[in-house]
């Protein structure tokens, strides 16, 4: 089952991105400038570094605090996850998450138009990931929420008092996976807006991080609410960052000069701005 979501995304993009030998390459739907995007990416990386430092400065639970934790203090919405722990589920979530970070953007290279501009796409992917990571590390570095496994006795001795046990909110694996898959779907859409494969690509993009979220709960790493927030953050960054780089023409905007004479005989000139709805 853990392979199903990744294979679905791979198959969807593989079939959708088969190049047409006679098709003329479309211009890039994105506008990027190293002088602008380089500093932005470096800034996001710096914020991520600060967040990581804050995470390392956190303190774990004492044995007494760990023993005092009560499932009944967990909101009912999340309570069904409290006490869970599974090494196998953690391995499955790691496999899906880390695999998607490479596979999802890698599959975009199967499209000839995207492959011709893969340097630009790779730069956007890096910036998108850094945006998610900046939000994630700063949140985890400032928020104490104890992982579900701390509410049970299934985890190995000493794990509940480690600093990592305080990093439940929000789900980083889910967030980063959603960033990768939704970025891939968004880029595919922007290069192939009329592709009949789009529903399958978007569907696969949605399933993979959902599978990661499931395994993170089974592993006792995150509550449902942690995963919902992580999914939302990742999907939002995966879509919004590329969208912010869309060129006006491909985004439905056009600016053309115009001039003429009005009904009173006066001449006029200017620019006509139109937006496709």
pLDDT tens by residue, 221-261: 999 999 999 999 999 999 999 999 998 644 455 444 555 65
Which residue segment(s) compose the domain that 262 sits in?
248-277
Residue 201 has a pLDDT of: 97
Confidence tier at 27 by pLDDT (50, 70, 90)? confident
Q: Is the pLDDT of residue 102 over 70?
A: yes
Write out pLDDT tens, residues 37-74. Answer: 999 999 999 999 999 999 999 999 999 999 999 999 99
Structure tokens at 218: 């089974």
Q: 211 and 269 share a domain?
A: no
Do 262 and 215 lie in one domain? The reply is: no
259: tokens are 């001039």
> What single string gives the DSSP state of each residue in 128-157?
HHHHHHHHHHHHHHH--B--GGGGSS-SPT
The candidate with the shortest Cα–Cα distance to 6, out of 212, 176, 217, is 212
- Phi, psi angles (nearest 5°) of residue 246: -65, 140
Q: Within the chain, where are the H helices?
A: 4-16, 34-56, 63-68, 87-108, 112-116, 118-142, 172-191, 198-218, 224-244
| Averaged pLDDT for residues 73-87 | 97
Tokens in use for 4? 């199903």
Q: Across residues 149-157, what is the average pLDDT?
A: 95
175 and 202 fall within a common domain: yes
Supply the pTM of this predicted model: 0.82
pLDDT of residue 122 exceeding 70, the answer is yes
With vertex at residue 25, the alpha carbon angle to CA 19 and CA 26, rounded to the nearest 5 degrees, is 120
Residue 12 has pLDDT above 50, yes or no: no
The residue ranking higher by pLDDT, 155 or 16, is 155
The token duo for 254 is: 């056009």
Helices (runs of H) and strands (runs of E) counted in the chain: 9, 2
**Which has the minimum average pLDDT: 14-23, 73-82, 195-204?**
14-23
Q: Are 15 and 197 in contact (CB under 8 A)?
A: yes
What is the Cα–Cα distance from 120 to 118, expressed in whole angstroms?
A: 5
pLDDT, mean over the chain: 87
Residues 188, 254 within the same domain: no
User: What is the average per-residue pLDDT within 175-194?
Assistant: 97
Are residue 223 and residue 274 in the same domain, yes or no?
no
Please say if the pLDDT value at position 3 is more than 50: no
Contact (Cβ atoms closer than 8 angstroms) between residue 25 and residue 113: yes
Do 254 and 227 share a domain, yes or no? no
* Spatial contact of 69 and 151, defined as CB atoms under 8 Å apart: yes
Peptide bond into 5 cis (omega under 30): no
What is the pLDDT, as a whole number, of residue 17? 46
**What are φ and ψ of residue 260, in 5° steps?**
175, -165
Distance CA 138, CA 73 (A): 25
Confidence (pLDDT) at 264? 60
Number of domains in the chain: 2
Question: For 249-277, what is the mean pLDDT?
Answer: 53
Residues 207 and 276 in one domain: no
135 and 237 housed in the same domain: yes
Burial (CB count within 10 angstroms: exposed 0-12, middle 13-18, buried 19+), residue 265: exposed
Assigned token pair, 184: 């891939």
Give the residue-averaged pLDDT of 167-194.
97
Regarding whether 274 and 179 lie in a shared domain, the answer is no
pLDDT confidence tier of residue 18, bands split at 50, 70 and 90: very low
Q: Are residues 272 and 181 in the same domain?
A: no
Do residue 191 and residue 252 come from a single domain? no
Structure tokens of 189?
A: 């859409």
Mean pLDDT of 69-87: 97
Q: Is the dihedral of CA 106, 229, 50, 187 positive or negative?
A: positive
Same domain? For 15 and 92 the reply is: yes
């Amino acid at each position: 089952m853990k392979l199903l979501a990744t294979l679905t995304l791979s198959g969807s993009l593989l079939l959708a991105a088969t190049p047409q030998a006679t098709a003329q390459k479309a211009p890039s739907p994105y506008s990027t400038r190293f002088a602008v995007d380089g500093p932005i990416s470096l800034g996001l990386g710096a914020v991520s570094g600060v967040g990581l430092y804050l995470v390392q400065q956190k303190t774990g639970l004492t044995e007494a605090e760990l023993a005092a934790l009560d499932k009944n203090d967990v909101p009912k919405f999340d309570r069904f996850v409290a006490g869970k722990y599974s090494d196998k589920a953690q391995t499955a979530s790691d496999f899906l998450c880390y695999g998607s970070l490479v596979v999802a953007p890698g599959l975009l290279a199967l499209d000839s138009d995207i492959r011709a501009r893969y340097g630009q796409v790779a730069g956007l992917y890096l910036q998108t990931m850094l945006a998610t990571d900046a939000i994630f590390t700063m949140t985890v570095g400032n928020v104490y929420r104890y992982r579900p496994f701390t509410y049970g006795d299934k985890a190995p001795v000493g794990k509940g008092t480690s600093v990592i046990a305080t990093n439940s909110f929000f789900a980083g694996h889910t967030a980063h996976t959603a960033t990768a898959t939704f970025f891939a779907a968004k880029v595919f859409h922007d290069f192939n807006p009329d592709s009949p494969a789009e529903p399958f690509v978007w569907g696969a993009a949605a399933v993979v991080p959902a599978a990661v979220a499931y395994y993170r709960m089974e592993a006792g790493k995150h509550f449902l609410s942690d995963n919902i927030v992580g999914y939302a953050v990742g999907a939002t960054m995966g879509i919004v960052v590329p969208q912010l780089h869309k060129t006006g023409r491909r985004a439905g905007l056009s600016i053309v000069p115009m001039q003429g004479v009005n009904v009173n005989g006066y001449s006029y000139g200017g620019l006509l701005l139109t937006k496709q709805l």
